Amino acid sequence: MHRRTFLAAPALLAAAPALAQTAPIAPQAMVAAADAIRNPGQPFRVTSTLTDYVGGRPRDKVVLVVFAREDKKTGQFNNLVRYVEPPRDAGKLVLYAGSTLWFYDPASKAAVRISPQQRLTGQASNGDVLTINMQRDYKAAMVGPEAIQDADRQSRNCWHLDLTGGPDAVYSRIEMWLEQGTHRMVKGKFYSDSGRLLKIAYYRKYIEQLGVQRPSETILIDAVDSALVTTVGSSDMRPQEIPDAWFQRDFLPRLKIEG
């Protein structure tokens, strides 16, 4: 499978507005708030810039445009991703609807399903991190307050939460550090069913996007293949009307996206 598979921009569900609190609220409410920071609550588009680093040196760069919309019935977020750069991948599409991943190449006009086995490594595995829905799929428990270093080596006071994945969740366990007060995600650790650490994520460069401070850069560190790091930058987030048809596999060949 193509190494540079889809990588969805930070986008998700559960439309609860950001809360700013000083006293600790219930852990589940906290993660709901954290989710809300990443989710505008309306269909939107955003430009994602992904850069791979090997041993600290940048290697590959991909630019995508992501169209995201919540399916009101299931609460699931659907993402349609279009490659912009590099030129040889331009026009390729990835559809993330429900838990199925489809890859479409306009040159061959064929839509190929990407199975979970094919999403174990590479950029597809990062997509799982970026598209988690903590409030819906995980049960949060409070570990305690903890001061940790963020991605810029600044100390932040956080709530350390321990999330347990339900039967459909991708990760069986997540450790999440949310900034006290803002409930911004600072750092996350994602574990497999066997208890091994799979990914580490840092969230930084919070800027205003669609009226709320959202992380414009996520740093994903592969804990299994420890030389690999990917940065995901999001920019130009705007609301967008997205028709239902866009998220149907059969419609992919006829998809015309302007702008």
Partner 1 sequence: MLFKLAFRNILRNRRRSVMSIGAIAVGAIAMVLFGGFVAIIILGVQTDTVRRTGHLAIYRDGFFTFGSGNPAAWGMQGYTQVLDMVKQDPVLAPMLEVATPTVSLFGIAGNFAIEASRTFMGAGVVPQDRDTMRRWNPYQLTYNNAADSGLDAADPTKGVVGTGLARILGLCEALKLSDCPPPQAKEKLDTPVSTDIAALADSEKSANAEPVDTRPHIDLLAATAGGAPNVINMVVTRADRQGVKELDDAMVLMHFDLAQQLLYGRGEKRAIAIVLQLHSTADMPAAKARIAELIRTRNLPLEVRDFIEISPFYGQVTGMFGAIFTFIAAIMGVIVLFTVVNTMSMSVMERTAEIGTARAIGLRRGGIRRQFLLEGWILGAIGASAGLLIGIGIAMIVNRSGLTWMPPGQSAPSPLAVMVDGMWKLHAGIWLGLMVMTTLAALLPANRAARLPVVDALRHV
Size of the site for partner 1 (CB under 8 A): 44
Residue among 38 and 119 whose Cβ is closer to partner 1:
119
Q: Is 198 in the site for partner 1 (CB under 8 A)?
A: yes
Q: Given the complex with partner 1, which of 197 and 255 has the nearer CB atom?
A: 197
Nearest CA to 47 among 182, 241, 216, 254? Answer: 216
Residue with tokens 């991943």: 101
Tell me the DSSP string of 182-200. T--EEEEEEE-TTS-EEEE
Residue selected from 72, 88, 109, 153 as contacting partner 1 according to rule CB under 8 A = 153
Q: By CB under 8 A, which span of 87-95, 150-158, 178-186, 205-213 interacts with partner 1?
A: 150-158
With contacts defined by CB under 8 A, name the span among 10-18, 76-84, 85-93, 117-125 that binds partner 1.
117-125
Please state, in angstroms and rounded to a whole number, the distance separating the CA atoms of residues 144 and 165: 19
Residue tagged 């996007």 (tokens): 209
**Phi first, then psi: what are they for 80, rounded to 5°?**
-115, 125
Most distant CA atoms of the chain, gap in Å: 56
Task: Quote the CA–CA distance of 231 and 217 in Å, as a whole number.
Answer: 7
Of the residues 21, 26, 58, 85, which one makes contact with partner 1 according to CB under 8 A = 58
Cβ of residue 29: shortest distance to partner 1, in angstroms?
25
Interface pick for partner 1 out of 169, 186, 232, 237 (rule CB under 8 A): 169
How many whole angstroms separate alpha carbon 112 and alpha carbon 189? Answer: 31
Q: Say whether residue 218 binds partner 1 (CB under 8 A).
A: no
Residue 119 Cβ vs partner 1, minimum distance, rounded to whole Å: 7
For the chain, helix, strand, coil in percent to 5 are 15, 45, 35
CA gap 212, 206 in Å, rounded = 9
The residue (of 33 and 200) whose beta carbon lies closer to partner 1 is 200
Sites of contact with partner 1 (CB under 8 A): 53-59, 99, 115-117, 119-121, 125, 128, 149, 151-153, 165, 167-172, 192-194, 196-198, 200, 202, 219, 221, 223-227, 229, 231
